[in-house]
Structure 1
């Protein structure tokens, strides 16, 4: 189930890659745990760091892009009361926004603004997050 979150993020990326032309990311991720009764700031911090590192350092294509050529990505994950830190089961919603740089300008163009009200996944702190191309999530 841990692969579910990365499957969703990969699905969103790959679903639009034919229209967007695959590219690397400059991603900002925020995990909001204000709705969770038993908050665990350390695990939320680890999750945020792991997702940010995963999205920003994974090479999604074989092409090389400068930092300013990367697709800007903002992901806000808001955890809800069904989150169980002890079991590593996370529940909530996610808002995903992508902006692509416009060639030859300082502007970006919006590509996607997606809101998922049923964003459920599992995560175990200190386990590496690995992207496997062409792998389906079950």
Structure 2
């Protein structure tokens, strides 16, 4: 925010905010609004969760928007490692067998479909091992 001049004593805390950080945050919020990213995340998330529910191996598919989680049975406990090391798809995890997804809000339908195809391939690879 160029109209807010920085001055001595204005930046007193680590997480207290500063003009540059506030301008960056406002810029992010403007893009989120202009590109309708929240509504798109909701739609993409519902699409992905509905598709994940069609995978018979996956259990307890849940989420909100693009924050998605699902459980895998013990025989698929290596799935996350397979996705990361063999397919370069980073996921989170929660013990014992939960895989967490948190993709970009700008995820496209094509990228979602590519993920779902790769997930199917990775599940089949783990089952075959």
TM-score normalized by the length of structure 2: 0.30
Higher percent of residues as helix: 2
Higher percent of residues as strand: 1
